[in-house]
Amino acid sequence: MLVPEGRHEVTTEGGWMLLQRIFPEGFGAKLKNAGIVVSVFIDADVRQVEAAARIGVAVCEIHTGPYAHAFHQKGRDAESPEVVAQLKTIQVAGEAIRALKMRFNAGHALNYVNVQPVARLAGLRELHIGHAIVSRALFVGLREAVREMKQLMVQAAR
C-alpha cells in the first residue's frame, strides 16, 4: 500500500494526488511481475482512479476521511445532504475502480457509528479500520472489538 505521509502528519490527511507525476506509467505492472500486489491510497476522484489504472496498480483504497468528517459535523445524520454527497463520491470512485478491473477498498476515520453506509457500497472488498477497533479493544478486548465491527459490516452488506 502506497500512502502519502507528510513529515508533520499524525495520520494520513488525504490520498495521493497526481499519481502519474509521482509514479511512471506501468510502475505497478513492474512490481506485479515481481510478485508484489500494489495498492494506492487515493481520494475519491475518478481522475485519480484513472491515473491509478495507468500506472498499473491492482488495488485502490479510497480515502473516506471527508465522508467521516461530514458525518460527524452533521450530527451523525447519514441522510444529511453533505453526508450523502460524500458517500456518492466514494460510490462513483468505487464504480470507476471496478470498471477498470481493480479492487475497491476504502478506509480512514471509519468507526462503529459511520461504517455501515460505506460497508453497503457495491463491490467493496475491504475496509481499513484500525484506530476505532484498537480504541474499542481497550474497553472490551480485541476479539470483541473485531466481532462488533464485523457484525456491523455484515449487517450493512445484507
Q: Residue 9: in which H helix or E strand, if any? A: none
Q: What is the pTM for the complete model shown?
A: 0.88
Reduced to 3 states (helix: H, G, I; strand: E, B; else coil), residue 116 is: helix
pLDDT(51) > 50 = yes
The tens digit of pLDDT for each residue in 19-40 reads 556 777 778 888 888 999 999 9
- Measured CA to CA, the distance from residue 67 to residue 114 in angstroms comes to 9
- Measured CA to CA, the distance from residue 157 to residue 142 in angstroms comes to 23
- Residue 157 grid cell: 452488506
Report yes or no: 59 and 22 within 8 Å, Cβ to Cβ.
no
Percent of the chain scoring above 90 in pLDDT: 73
The tens digit of pLDDT for each residue in 111-148 reads 999 999 999 999 999 999 989 999 999 999 999 999 99
pLDDT(99) > 80 = yes
Q: Which of 89, 109, 102, 105 is nearest to 46 (CA)?
A: 89
Q: Which domains does the chain have, with CATH numbers?
A: 19-130 (3.20.20.70)
